[in-house]
Each structure stands twice: as C-alpha cells, then as structure tokens.
Amino acid sequence: MLKTEGQNWIHRLRKRWITLYLLRIFAISLAIALVLSAVFVYVLHLSPWLSAITLPLVLAILLFTKPIWKASDKDFSRYVNNKYPELEESADLLLQNPAELSMLQKLQLAKIENRISEISPPKEPVKRLYLGLAILLAGLLMSFAITKIPQIQKAYQSVASNQTSAPVMEENIPAEISDFRLTVIPPVYTGKSERKQKQFSVKAEIGAKVNWNIETNIAIKNLKIIFNDKESIVLKPQNPAATTWTFSKTIEKSGFYQLEVEGKKSDLYQIEVIPDLPVHIKITQPKQRTTIDIGQPQKFNLNVALSDDYGINDAFISATMASGKGEGVSFTEKKLSFNTSFNNQKSISLRRQIDLKSLGMKPGDELYFFIKAMDNHGQSSRSDVYFVSIVDTTELMSMAGMTNGVNLVPEYFRSQRQIIIDTEKLLKEQSTLSADAFKTRSNDLGIDQKLLRLRYGQFLGEENETEIGGDHDDHDEHAEGKGEQEKFGDVTAIMDKYAHKHDIAEDATFFEPEMKAQLKAVLTEMWNSELRLRTYKPQDALPYEYKALRLLKDLQQKSRAYVAKTTVKTAALKPEKRLSGELDKITQPVQKMSAAQKDQRLAHLKTALALLESRKSGKKFIEGDKFLLSETEKYMIGAAADNPATYLNALTSLRKLSAGKNLQTKNIEIVQQAIQKMIKGESAKPQTPVALPASALYQNYFHNLNKTGR
C-alpha cells in the first residue's frame, strides 16, 4: 500500500460528506420554497415573481447557517478517530509527511493503513440525505394542498349559500308545474353574486331582484302570483305553447305569496328579507367623560372599532369645542378624519391621537365629540357623545363661591390652595436656591400637606394618624384608675369597662356615602402629594395637589344646603297668619275618562280561540263559525305579512280548517298558538290610577277640624 493512500481516503471521505450535505440542504430549501411560494400566491395573493427569489434566499440562509465546506481534513480525521475505534485514534498520522515521523509513529501508521480497506464509509450523511428527501416530499404535498385552498373556499361559500337559502318548511308544488327556477340577484353594494334555487320560498337581501322561471307540463291560460293576499299579478306566457312563464320583482319587505294556476291556489310561500344594518360603532378609548388635570398631557388616544354587514365607506369625528362662560360661551365645530382608506372593509379598527392644543383649546374648555360612519349603501350611524375637559387652574384658585351657601368645611379650602401657591413659588425659585434649602422647603410643604390631610381625616371619624388605614387595640387608658371607683350595681361603670367609646371611622360621620367616598379620594390625592413633597419632587406633586383642590370644590358644591341670597326682599310673614288658611276649596285633580269601547279585534281572536278549543273533538264548523274564521284570517294575513316566519304556517292551517274538508288536531293547535301570540302582542294601554276609597277621608277630617277650631 502506498504512503498517500491514507490521505486519499480522508479526502474522499470529506468530498462525499460535503456532496451529500449539499444535496440535503438543497432538498430542504426546495421544500420550504415551495410552501412559501404557494402561501404567497394562493393565500396572500402576491405576485408570482416573488416565488422566484424564495429558493435562492432560503438556500443561502441554510448554507451560511452551517458552512460544512469550511471543515478541513484535520476535522474529518478527528471524526474518524471518534467513529472507528480500530484506528486507535491515530488517523491524524495519515495526513502527516512520513519522512517527519518517528520510528514508533511509522509503525503505527503502517498498522492503521492495513485496516483502512476494511472500514466501510459512514452511513450518517446518507441517513441525513434521506431525511432531507422526506422533507421535500412533505413540502410538495403541503404546497399542492395550499393551491387547493381557493377552490375549497369557493365550494364552502357555495354550500353556505345553499344552506342559507334552504326552505324553512316543506313545499307543495302544483301538479301543473313541471319545472321552475328562482334567481336571486343581490344589490351590487352587497358584493354578493347571484344565486339560483329550486324552491319557491325566498330569502334575499333587501333590494334584491328575484326572477321566477316556471315551466308547465300543459298549456295554461291563466297563471297569477298573489303577494300578501293583496297584490295580484297576471303572468304572460313566453312561448306560443303557453308553457313558459317568467316574472321579476324587487324585494323590499318580508311577506308571503302564492301561485294561482287556472283558478287553483297553491300553498303559501315565504318571503324573508335580510335587512341592511348600519355601521356598528364601538369606542374603546377614552371613557365617556374624561378630565385632564394639571400636569397631564393635553391629548388623548381615540380607539374605535367599526363593523358592518356589507362594507364601510367612510367615518369621521365630529368635534365641538366650548369656550368661555355664561353668555360669553362660544362653540367651534370641526370635522376630524382618521386618515385611512376603508375600501369597503367589513370591520376595521381606527386609532388617532387628538391633540387638544392643536385644536385651539385652553384650560377651562370642553370638547364634545362623536363618531359618524357610513356604509357602502349610504346609511349613516353615530356613536354616543363623549366629553373631554381641561381643568381650569385659574377657576380652582379663585375664591368665587366661597361665601355663598353653607359650607361644611370652609376654613380648609384656603389651606390646600395655599399649598399649591407655595409649591409653584418653590418651583420658580428652585434655580436660585441651594440643594439643601430646596429640600428643606419641599419637606416643610410635605409636613403642611400631612397636617391638612389629618384635619380632613377627622371628618371621617379618624382621631389620629394611626387610624388612617390602621387599628388601635390598646385602650388601657379606659381601665386605669377604675377598679376602686366602680360601685356595685352601677351599670354605666360596668359598660364603660368593656365598651370602647371612641368614634368609629366608618360610622362617625354625617356625610352621605357618595360624599364620604369623594372625601376619601381627597385624602388619597393629599397622600400622593405629601409623598412626592417629602421625596423632594414638588413638580410631580403639583398634579395631585390640583386634583385634591378640584375634588374639594366639587365637595363644597354638593354640601350646600341653601342657595345664595338675591337682591329681592319680600315682606316679613306675620306669625299669627301662619297655618290659618282655608283649604276646603282646594281639591285633588280628577281625570274623567269614559270607558273605552271593547276592542273588536281582540274579541274576535279570543272568541276564535275558544271555538277552536271546542272543535278538537272532531265536530265540524257551522256557517256562523266559518264567518268567525274568515274574520280571524283577515287579522292573521296582516300578521303573516309583517312576520311570515311566525304566522305563515298558521295561516295555511287556518285556511285548511276553513275549507272544512278534514279537521286535524295538529292544524287547530298551530292556529291556536298563533292566535295566542297575536293576543299577547297587544300592547298594554295606560290607565288612570284609581285612588283608594278612603284616600280623601283624612283631608275632610282636617278641613272640618279647622272649621270647628279644635
């Protein structure tokens, strides 16, 4: 064996390994490229030219992820040492110059060269190649399946359309009709294609055009279509043999119709109209009433979700800004767009950030806005009105309203206002103060805020600082010096020993629950302000101070018991005149109404209901009964025209009963259920409240008592 045979063996191994690796990478890249190309073209509907660059791009990514061609012969010699123990980890000797080896190394080289011919090539790269080919086969199958998605969607839509137009009940076709076909052509704006059906019951979009094509097996002289038992249309034959008939009608409302062939009427067929609903508007942000406090950015995010059954054409924001006070209020209206194209989408999410400063708003102004949207049929809808206001710091700091009315806590409002003034003054002088002086003044303001918070806490029954959110369990002061002074039988002394007479924070208050909750909110804002003042952050504390003041002024308005005095002065009342007026001429208002006449429709329906119940035994209707059934049929025709899905089947059963050929209990029950629905549908009428018989007794007694002077 030649000296270079070992080196050639290593070279062949490296070349074979790299070749199989490249084949595997190419197979995997081709599989990925086929799947991506199918998705781009058949799902995302992108350009087919995009698939041309997919394979080179994927192949480049995979090749540079693991560049196997950079592996040297030494790397493969290490692999051979680990893979084949019979080489005794001496494969690196095959790559060295034999002249440079020692005697021992030459002996070892000769030993392993004799074993090379017995070693089979590794199977690992072949197995990986098979895996790559399997991935390629899976990619081919997946890409083929993706190409069938449009056909599957089309078939699914066709099945769904057929299910939508399925009849609600079994139809009986006249014997003279051999074949028929109805074509429903929806309006263009719906985006739906025309559909054909083999049934007379119609379910179509509002404004859809319906074409009837009827074939008869014999020549017909007279063929009519009767809509809602009111509109009768005579059809004209389309061929000399009088066997082909056509008719077209635009459907605008629900109802029913029937065919009349040579004087014989068919069953009733339902017409159901699918209404076109306006755009549904849902505002998820902001809240319906938003107040922007001092320190907060004067802007807000508007998030809107729109949805429509056929498509959205446009939407915009109608905003009205109110500025000024009293008679000097001015209003400015603006139309704000969302800067997006709708393209008749059925649902869309809109977002816009509205900058109040750019709209020209200033503190004290208010913004009222709503969303108006139009669908592709021209229908418009609008949302509720939303309010956004900017807090007017000037109004908060004013003393207006402090002298009017009765205030529960008037002396404390000026304190919170003074803290705000001192905080703003500190911020203005910050550049001229040393760091220690600035921190000292900020901490002092925090102490003032704390004292004010504790004073307000007294209105909630809090006796000291530890009771704000805490418990006080140590009450030993109640027990000191009591033992020797207690007297036997003194109930008060015994109760004092075990009772705790301090006010309870939740009970010791004369505020209403709503005012109590707002006062707790004031304490929370004061606590947030105190925290930031104590940590030398007066700029961050300022928004909480203003919010506390605003809540306090709102609380002041709610706590007023009287209105402000006016300039009008009235004469003083004489005490001897009080409660001396005669009230005998003042009587309670009486509303006289004649009894309403009996409702003829309701009477007919109730009588018919009782008649049908008596005929369940099988007794036939007499002539008087048939007149009552005909009157009931008139009322039911009107109900079926408005709601065919509910009353059409009952109208058919009622006509079978009127014919009197075969009285079936099933038909009677169907008609009875429909009549009961018609009776329950009667809306309740307002009635004059009737006073109790003895309601005026105490009034007469009071008048007579005044007359007798008792």
Is the domain of 416 the same as that of 553? Answer: yes
Which sign does the torsion angle of CA 429, 434, 439, 445 carry? negative
- 473 domain residue, yes or no: no
Is the domain of 176 the same as that of 245? Answer: yes
**What is the SS3 assignment for 243-282?**
CEEEEEEECCCCEEEEEEECCEECCCEEEEEECCCCCEEE
Which position has the higher pLDDT, 690 or 207? Answer: 207
The most confident of 155-169, 193-207, 323-337, 653-667, by mean pLDDT: 193-207
Over residues 293-319, the mean pLDDT reads: 88
Q: Are 242 and 273 in contact (CB under 8 A)?
A: no
Residue 282 pLDDT level (bands cut at 50, 70, 90) = very high
Is the domain of 98 the same as that of 33? Answer: yes
Token pair of 293 as six digits? 């406090």
- 571 domain residue, yes or no: no
In what helix (H) or strand (E) does residue 163 lie, and over which residues does it extend? helix 149-164
Question: Residue 95: helix, strand or coil by DSSP?
Answer: helix
- 592 domain residue, yes or no: no
Over residues 404-438, the pLDDT tens digits come to 444 444 444 457 888 888 888 888 888 888 888 88
pLDDT score of 61 more than 50: yes
Specify the range with the lowest mean pLDDT, choosing from 67-71, 225-229, 296-300.
67-71
Which position has the higher pLDDT, 31 or 164? Answer: 31
Over residues 121-138, the mean pLDDT reads: 80
Q: Are 219 and 241 in contact (CB under 8 A)?
A: yes
CB neighbourhood size of 430 (10 A): 15
Of the residues 274, 296, 330, the one at which a domain ends: 274
Over residues 230-268, the pLDDT tens digits come to 888 888 888 888 888 899 999 888 888 888 888 888 888
Q: For position 75, what pLDDT does the model report?
A: 60
> For the chain, what's the residue count?
710
Determine phi and psi for 678, rounding to 5 degrees: -65, -35
CB neighbourhood size of 133 (10 A): 15
pLDDT score of 95 more than 80: no
Is the domain of 298 the same as that of 224? Answer: no
Determine phi and psi for 330, rounding to 5 degrees: -120, 145
- 567 domain residue, yes or no: no
Q: For position 372, what pLDDT does the model report?
A: 92
Q: Are 122 and 91 in contact (CB under 8 A)?
A: no
Q: For position 360, what pLDDT does the model report?
A: 85
Token pair of 119 as six digits? 């070693």
Residue 386 pLDDT level (bands cut at 50, 70, 90) = very high
Is the domain of 434 the same as that of 359? Answer: no
Partners of 227 in beta bridges: 231, 257
In what helix (H) or strand (E) does residue 114 lie, and over which residues does it extend? helix 103-116
Of the residues 239, 274, 309, the one at which a domain ends: 274
Q: For position 462, what pLDDT does the model report?
A: 60
**What is the SS3 assignment for 63-120?**
HHHCCHHHCCHHHHHHHHHHHCHHHCCCHHHHHCCHHHCCHHHHHHHHHHHHHHCCCC
Partners of 351 in beta bridges: 303
* Cβ burial, residue 45 (10 Å; 0-12/13-18/19+): exposed
If phi > 0 it is left, if psi is from -120 to 50 it is alpha, else beta; for residue 483 that is alpha
If phi > 0 it is left, if psi is from -120 to 50 it is alpha, else beta; for residue 31 that is alpha
CB neighbourhood size of 395 (10 A): 14
Q: For position 328, what pLDDT does the model report?
A: 65
- 690 domain residue, yes or no: no
Over residues 616-671, the pLDDT tens digits come to 766 777 777 777 777 788 888 888 887 887 788 888 887 877 777 666 777 788 88
CA distance 36 to 304: 34
Q: For position 164, what pLDDT does the model report?
A: 45
Q: Are 291 and 391 in contact (CB under 8 A)?
A: yes
Q: At what angle do helices 623-642 and 644-659 cross, to 10 degrees?
A: 160
CA distance 635 to 675: 10
Q: For position 558, what pLDDT does the model report?
A: 62
Over residues 310-322, the mean pLDDT reads: 90
Over residues 494-550, the pLDDT tens digits come to 555 554 444 455 544 556 777 778 888 888 888 888 888 888 888 988 888 888 888
Residues 491/494/495/497 CA torsion (nearest 10 deg):
160
Q: For position 680, what pLDDT does the model report?
A: 76
HSE-CB for 706 with a 13 A CA cutoff: 11
- CATH number of the structural domain spanning residue 262: 2.60.40.10
- 156 domain residue, yes or no: no
Is the domain of 440 the same as that of 531? Answer: yes
Q: For position 74, what pLDDT does the model report?
A: 60
Question: Amino acid letter at 425?
Answer: K
Is the domain of 336 the same as that of 438? Answer: no
Q: Where are the alpha helices (DSSP H) in 480-617?
A: 491-498, 513-534, 538-558, 600-614
Residues of the chain with pLDDT > 90: what percent? 6
Q: For position 98, what pLDDT does the model report?
A: 63
Is the domain of 316 the same as that of 345? Answer: yes
Which sign does the torsion angle of CA 534, 536, 537, 541 carry? positive
Residues of the chain with pLDDT > 70: what percent? 67
CA distance 316 to 137: 52
- 651 domain residue, yes or no: yes
Which position has the higher pLDDT, 224 or 492? Answer: 224
CA-closest candidate to residue 168, choices 137, 145, 202: 202
Token pair of 706 as six digits? 């005044």
Residues 155/159/162/168 CA torsion (nearest 10 deg):
180
Q: For position 696, what pLDDT does the model report?
A: 59
Q: How many domains does the chain have?
A: 5
In what helix (H) or strand (E) does residue 387 lie, and over which residues does it extend? strand 386-390
Mean pLDDT, the chain, as a whole number? 75
Angle (nearest 5°) at CA 217 between 213 and 219: 90
Q: For position 545, what pLDDT does the model report?
A: 86
For the chain, the C-alpha Rg in angstroms (whole number) is: 47
| Helix, strand, coil tally for the chain in percent (to 5) | 45, 15, 35
Domain holding 190, by residue range, is 169-274
Of the residues 246, 274, 302, the one at which a domain ends: 274
Question: Amino acid letter at 558?
Answer: K
Q: For position 401, what pLDDT does the model report?
A: 46
pLDDT score of 274 more than 80: yes
Specify the range with the lowest mean pLDDT, choosing from 24-28, 333-337, 704-708.
704-708
Contacts of 14 (CB under 8 A, 6+ apart): 71, 73, 76
Edge-to-edge strand list for the sheet holding 244-250:
195-197, 177-185, 209-216, 244-250
* DSSP letter for each residue of 629-691: HHHHHHHHHHHHHH-HHHHHHHHHHHHHHHHTS---HHHHHHHHHHHHHHHHTSPPPP-PPPP
Is the domain of 143 the same as that of 201? Answer: no
CA-closest candidate to residue 497, choices 481, 521, 513: 481
CA distance 25 to 522: 70
Specify the range with the lowest mean pLDDT, choosing from 47-51, 178-182, 695-699.
695-699
Determine phi and psi for 334, rounding to 5 degrees: -140, 150
Over residues 207-216, the mean pLDDT reads: 91
Question: Residue 337: helix, strand or coil by DSSP?
Answer: strand
Q: At what angle do helices 538-558 and 513-534 cross, to 10 degrees?
A: 160
The most confident of 10-19, 317-326, 554-563, 600-609, by mean pLDDT: 317-326
Token pair of 605 as six digits? 């329906």
- 517 domain residue, yes or no: yes
Is the domain of 287 the same as that of 266? Answer: no
Contacts of 103 (CB under 8 A, 6+ apart): none
Over residues 443-499, the pLDDT tens digits come to 888 888 888 888 887 767 665 554 443 444 444 444 444 444 445 555 555 555 554
Partners of 349 in beta bridges: 305
Is the domain of 294 the same as that of 240? Answer: no
Token pair of 597 as six digits? 């006449």
Is the domain of 26 the same as that of 139? Answer: yes
pLDDT score of 397 more than 80: no
pLDDT score of 361 more than 70: yes
Residue 594 pLDDT level (bands cut at 50, 70, 90) = very low
Q: For position 69, what pLDDT does the model report?
A: 63
What is this structure's pTM? Answer: 0.50
Position of tokens 């074949």? 179
Which position has the higher pLDDT, 596 or 359? Answer: 359
Over residues 52-80, the mean pLDDT reads: 73
